[in-house]
């Protein structure tokens, strides 16, 4: 039985009605007064502010505890919610329905996570039930459930009482069924006593449901020392004799003796630096015993390219790869010595973990300064103290090298949670975490809610990344919640970045975050050389402003790198062929009818695709309005840049990395791997290329237009531009020679571009902080975006005006700075008109109170309240 959280089980068209009705209702499912043992508060994934009350039948006291899932009725719908509290009496004068079923026999959410959910719901003004739903995998099996069946004897012996006979009859019909299932069949709440009696009498047998669930196992070859040798493993001469005087053979024997446990053949070969033949010889000599081991974790399972993949490997061909070679049993040794600045950062974090006091840090160091090594050692230290660690990254698929590293370091004790996993796989990883098998969790923002015990370390890598903000309800920010969870767990919260958010930098200034600085780059200290190309001076730019991607200088720099057999990364933050297909004859721009914005032309697919709502049509040959064959692509996306590149540099192997790549099966891993191996010389991509890849042979990175974000109507536009440019710059010259960065722009004097080019972080920070302070933007204020959407423009506009009036009229409105009402930057999206208000205040507490008191509970239009918004669209 599986429980799909929050999804309707039946009758999706039925309207939501409150289950609490006036007394005297005769409708089925209501509990007569006094019949219930107590009342459970159940938080449901519906847009209601408070949990609903349900009657709990006698005998369920031990089961309907906070943190378990329950199936209930709301109106005509059946929903699954979480029990969050209990009451002895219902409010006077209301009839309360019975709770239909309790799904778990132990809580899926512990006390700590329930508290975090409550905080999240209050802070982000989101319904508690929706917060709880987003904390759990969508299809979690019932927890703590057991499967029971009749033994041979049990089927024959007579029942001792009526209840036993019912149970036995149900098991005769049902075969192997879960206890929850049995309860549902019999309509009886608590069968534990009778089941215990039957089991003690040997009439039924049972097992944990988890024992029989999960994917079919994969197997790997493993070896161990033969028993005789294992007993004498301390004896050097015995080892030498066993190895037959072979140096590699001895290395294998030494390794197994040292680790004192079996190991996969792959692990042994890697450790001893030997071939499979050496291991096979030792097996045939009876020195080693070979056996098959169920593979627990592998890179393949997480669809990450394996380090050893050679040319023509399955991954490169887009095929599933064979079981990876690195299914290891234990953490490998850290690979190298730390620099002094890394060492003191590790020491500070490790001390804080040992102290068991909440300690928040910002670890700041440029790309290549070895931040990852610092937090991986901190995680190892947490484990050594018996505490767990959660490592958050913006997107796992983009950091295969990191995932590989973490897997090699923590092996069996690592759980990777990410969207690429199938439902069953995600459940299984979640289970391993809950059982304490996995104590290190790597994942995107939702991994923040992993049910680890005794959390000691929370890492938020690339903490400035907007991917940490969830853009649907509940609109939480994982970085900020990581601080909240860290506080309640007495853990270290370690924010990590080469370009920290201004919020975090501000928190360092105010002493709310401890500062850990890494000053040097690993290997050698040279910053890349910055080269600014002023596009205004470029020939031909006046004629076709959007079309210049390869300035004279950039072409020359690319030639230099290619001649030196080095690699090049080109950033163009726009996918598709051209942002617009324009009719030169009549001006038709082929806008999306739902969003009002030009659709992006994808030439290879011959489609016009709206990047905001995904609506696509076939690209026409002639203008659909005037019928002239005058359609012209305006501007350039990655696809067109690739085309231009192939024209200018014929015969040079080039690949594209963007969202379109990731949609092709195996596409992302294949592109990254080809580039890592050097099969492709040039990688063209969107901002995805700026994320945490490590390509030592890249000597040149170039930003084709630095101005894409600068003009965007968002107060973080400059910060984003600076971050992107700095990260791209960090990709060049990570090997043994300094790299070059080319930035092409129409705004060569802009402070963000200048600072990124020269690596003058302090200059950028001073100027940007001044701007934020003068114009009252975060981090100097707290901001909430209030958005009203409706298919009718007048209704949306009237709605936002109504809200603005209510906020201004409220006494607390005086301390709040209101901007708008105004059309949102994207006034129309997906067929809806959008109007917004930005509310800013120095104190979040007052701002929140104002919103709670002044905003309508059930408005006739769609209302979104986004606390600490990251994307103002």
Q: Which residues bind Zn ion (CB under 5 A)?
A: 583, 585-586, 588, 592, 594-595, 610, 612-613, 615, 623, 625-626
Output the six-digit token pair for 409. Answer: 């370091």
Rg (CA), the chain: 31
414 versus 623: smaller Cβ distance to Zn ion: 623
86 versus 830: smaller Cβ distance to Zn ion: 830
Output the six-digit token pair for 570. Answer: 């080109």
236 versus 584: smaller Cβ distance to Zn ion: 584
Spell out where 554-697 has E strands.
567-571, 580-583, 600-602, 607-609, 616-618, 631-634, 654-657, 682-685
155 versus 625: smaller Cβ distance to Zn ion: 625
CA atoms of 357 and 490, how far apart (whole Å)? 5
Q: What sign does the CA torsion over 153, 158, 162, 168 have?
A: positive
Give Cβ neighbours of residue 377 (< 8 Å, ≥ 6 apart). 334, 338, 346, 350
CA atoms of 606 and 525, how far apart (whole Å)? 47
CA atoms of 42 and 190, how far apart (whole Å)? 20
46 versus 616: smaller Cβ distance to Zn ion: 616
Spell out where 605-657 has E strands.
607-609, 616-618, 631-634, 654-657
Residue pair 745/753 in contact (Cβ under 8 Å)? The answer is yes
Min separation Cβ 21 and Zn ion, Å: 42
Min separation Cβ 829 and Zn ion, Å: 7
Give Cβ neighbours of residue 537 (< 8 Å, ≥ 6 apart). none
* Residue whose entry in the numeric block shows the structure tokens 């003009």: 711
Min separation Cβ 579 and Zn ion, Å: 14
Min separation Cβ 122 and Zn ion, Å: 34
319 versus 589: smaller Cβ distance to Zn ion: 589
CA atoms of 348 and 760, how far apart (whole Å)? 27
* Bridging pattern class, strands 263-264 and 218-225: antiparallel
Min separation Cβ 610 and Zn ion, Å: 3
CA atoms of 854 and 806, how far apart (whole Å)? 6
Min separation Cβ 619 and Zn ion, Å: 14
612 versus 675: smaller Cβ distance to Zn ion: 612
Min separation Cβ 688 and Zn ion, Å: 22
Min separation Cβ 611 and Zn ion, Å: 8
Min separation Cβ 591 and Zn ion, Å: 8
Min separation Cβ 117 and Zn ion, Å: 34
Min separation Cβ 869 and Zn ion, Å: 21
CA atoms of 612 and 347, how far apart (whole Å)? 46
DSSP letters, 739-758, are -EEEEEES-TT-HHHHHHHH
594 versus 846: smaller Cβ distance to Zn ion: 594
Min separation Cβ 546 and Zn ion, Å: 19
Q: What are phi and psi of 617, to 5 degrees?
A: -135, 165
Indicate the DSSP class of residue 157: S
441 versus 610: smaller Cβ distance to Zn ion: 610
CA atoms of 543 and 547, how far apart (whole Å)? 9
Residue pair 109/131 in contact (Cβ under 8 Å)? The answer is no
Spell out where 580-680 has E strands.
580-583, 600-602, 607-609, 616-618, 631-634, 654-657
Output the six-digit token pair for 676. Answer: 């890592």
Output the six-digit token pair for 178. Answer: 């879960």
Min separation Cβ 15 and Zn ion, Å: 29
153 versus 629: smaller Cβ distance to Zn ion: 629
599 versus 840: smaller Cβ distance to Zn ion: 599
Min separation Cβ 397 and Zn ion, Å: 25
610 versus 671: smaller Cβ distance to Zn ion: 610
CA atoms of 136 and 142, how far apart (whole Å)? 12
Indicate the DSSP class of residue 248: H
Min separation Cβ 631 and Zn ion, Å: 8
Residue pair 600/614 in contact (Cβ under 8 Å)? The answer is no
Write the burial class of residue 212 (CB in 10 Å: 0-12 exposed, 13-18 middle, 19+ buried).
exposed
CA atoms of 562 and 570, how far apart (whole Å)? 13
228 versus 586: smaller Cβ distance to Zn ion: 586
Output the six-digit token pair for 586. Answer: 């009549």
581 versus 688: smaller Cβ distance to Zn ion: 581
* Residue whose entry in the numeric block shows the structure tokens 């949609």: 663
623 versus 728: smaller Cβ distance to Zn ion: 623
CA atoms of 539 and 526, how far apart (whole Å)? 33
50 versus 471: smaller Cβ distance to Zn ion: 471
Min separation Cβ 617 and Zn ion, Å: 11
Residue pair 406/391 in contact (Cβ under 8 Å)? The answer is yes
């Amino acid at each position: 039985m599986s429980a799909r959280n929050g999804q309707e089980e039946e009758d999706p068209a039925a309207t939501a009605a409150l289950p609490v009705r006036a007394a005297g209702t005769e409708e089925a499912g209501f509990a007569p007064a006094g019949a219930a043992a107590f009342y459970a508060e159940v938080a449901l994934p519906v847009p209601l502010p408070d949990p609903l009350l349900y009657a709990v039948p006698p005998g369920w006291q031990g089961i309907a505890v906070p943190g378990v899932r329950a199936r209930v009725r709301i109106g005509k719908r059946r929903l699954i919610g979480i029990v969050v509290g209990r009451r002895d009496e219902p409010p006077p004068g209301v009839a309360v329905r019975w709770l239909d079923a309790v799904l778990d026999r132990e809580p899926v959410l512990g006390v700590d996570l329930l508290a975090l959910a409550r905080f999240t719901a209050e802070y982000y003004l989101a319904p508690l039930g929706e917060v709880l739903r987003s904390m759990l995998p969508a299809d979690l099996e019932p927890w703590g459930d057991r499967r029971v069946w009749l033994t041979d004897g049990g089927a024959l012996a007579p029942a001792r009482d009526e209840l036993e006979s019912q149970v036995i009859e149900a098991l005769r019909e049902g075969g192997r069924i879960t206890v929850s299932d049995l309860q549902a069949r019999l309509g009886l709440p608590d069968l534990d006593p009778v089941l215990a009696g039957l089991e003690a009498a040997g009439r039924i047998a049972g097992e944990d449901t988890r024992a029989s669930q999960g994917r079919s196992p994969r197997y790997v070859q493993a070896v161990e020392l033969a028993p005789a040798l294992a007993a004498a493993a301390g004896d050097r001469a015995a080892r030498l004799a066993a190895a037959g005087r072979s140096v590699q053979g001895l290395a294998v024997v030494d390794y197994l003796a040292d680790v004192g446990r079996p190991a996969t053949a792959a692990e042994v070969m890697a450790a001893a630096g030997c071939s499979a033949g050496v291991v096979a010889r030792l097996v045939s000599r009876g020195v080693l015993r070979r056996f098959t081991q169920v593979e627990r974790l592998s890179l393949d399972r997480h669809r990450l390219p394996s380090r050893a993949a050679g040319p023509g490997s399955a991954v490169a061909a887009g095929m599933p790869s064979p079981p990876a070679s690195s299914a290891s049993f234990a953490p490998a040794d850290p690979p190298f010595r730390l620099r002094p600045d890394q060492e003191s950062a590790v020491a500070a974090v490790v001390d804080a973990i040992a102290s068991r006091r909440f300690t928040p840090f910002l670890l700041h160091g440029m790309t290549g300064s070895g931040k990852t090594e610092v937090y991986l050692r901190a995680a190892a230290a947490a484990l050594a103290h018996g505490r767990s660690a959660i490592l958050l990254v913006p997107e796992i698929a983009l950091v295969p090298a990191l995932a590989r590293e973490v897997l090699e370091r923590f092996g069996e004790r690592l759980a990777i949670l990410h969207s690429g996993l199938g439902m069953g796989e995600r459940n299984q990883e979640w289970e391993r975490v809950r059982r304490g098998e996995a104590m290190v969790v790597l994942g995107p923002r939702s991994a923040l809610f992993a049910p680890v015990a005794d959390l000691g370390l929370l890492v938020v890598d690339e903490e400035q990344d907007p991917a940490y903000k969830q853009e649907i309800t509940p609109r939480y920010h994982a970085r900020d919640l990581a601080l909240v969870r860290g506080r309640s767990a007495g853990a270290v919260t370690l924010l990590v970045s080469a370009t920290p958010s201004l919020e975090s930098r501000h928190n360092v200034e105010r002493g709310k975050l401890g500062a850990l600085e890494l000053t040097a780059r690993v290997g050698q200290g040279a910053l890349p050389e910055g080269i600014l190309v002023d596009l205004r001076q470029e020939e031909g730019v006046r004629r076709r402003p959007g079309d210049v991607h390869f300035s004279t200088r950039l072409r020359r720099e690319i030639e230099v790198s290619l001649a030196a057999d080095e690699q090049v990364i080109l950033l163009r933050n726009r996918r598709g062929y051209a942002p617009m297909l324009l009719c030169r004859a009549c001006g038709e721009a082929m806008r999306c009818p739902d969003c009002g914005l030009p659709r992006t032309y994808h030439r290879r697919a011959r489609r016009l695709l709206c990047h905001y709502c995904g609506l696509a049509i076939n690209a026409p040959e002639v203008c659909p309005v005037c019928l002239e064959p005058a359609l012209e692509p305006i501007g350039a996306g990655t696809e067109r840049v690739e085309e231009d590149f192939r024209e200018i540099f014929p015969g040079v192997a080039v690949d594209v990395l963007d969202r379109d790549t990731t949609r092709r099966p195996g596409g992302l891993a294949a592109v990254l791997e080809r580039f890592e191996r050097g099969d492709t010389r040039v990688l063209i991509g969107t901002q995805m290329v700026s994320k945490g890849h490590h390509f030592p042979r890249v000597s040149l990175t170039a930003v084709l237009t630095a101005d894409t974000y600068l003009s965007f109507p968002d107060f973080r536009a400059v910060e984003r531009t600076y971050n992107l440019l700095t990260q791209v710059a960090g990709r060049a010259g990570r090997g043994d020679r300094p790299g070059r960065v080319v930035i092409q722009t129409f705004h060569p004097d802009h402070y963000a571009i200048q600072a990124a080019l020269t690596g003058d972080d302090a200059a950028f920070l001073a100027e940007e902080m001044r701007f934020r302070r003068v114009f009252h933007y975060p981090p100097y204020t707290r901001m909430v975006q209030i958005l009203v959407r409706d298919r009718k423009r007048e209704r949306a506009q009237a709605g936002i005006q109504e809200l603005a009036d209510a906020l201004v009229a409220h006494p607390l409105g005086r301390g709040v700075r209101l901007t708008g009402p105004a059309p949102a930057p994207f006034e129309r999206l997906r067929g809806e008109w959008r109007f917004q208000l930005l509310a800013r205040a120095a104190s979040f507490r007052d701002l929140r109170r104002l919103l709670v008191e002044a905003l309508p509970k059930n408005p006739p239009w769609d209302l979104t309240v986004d606390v600490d918004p990251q994307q103002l669209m």
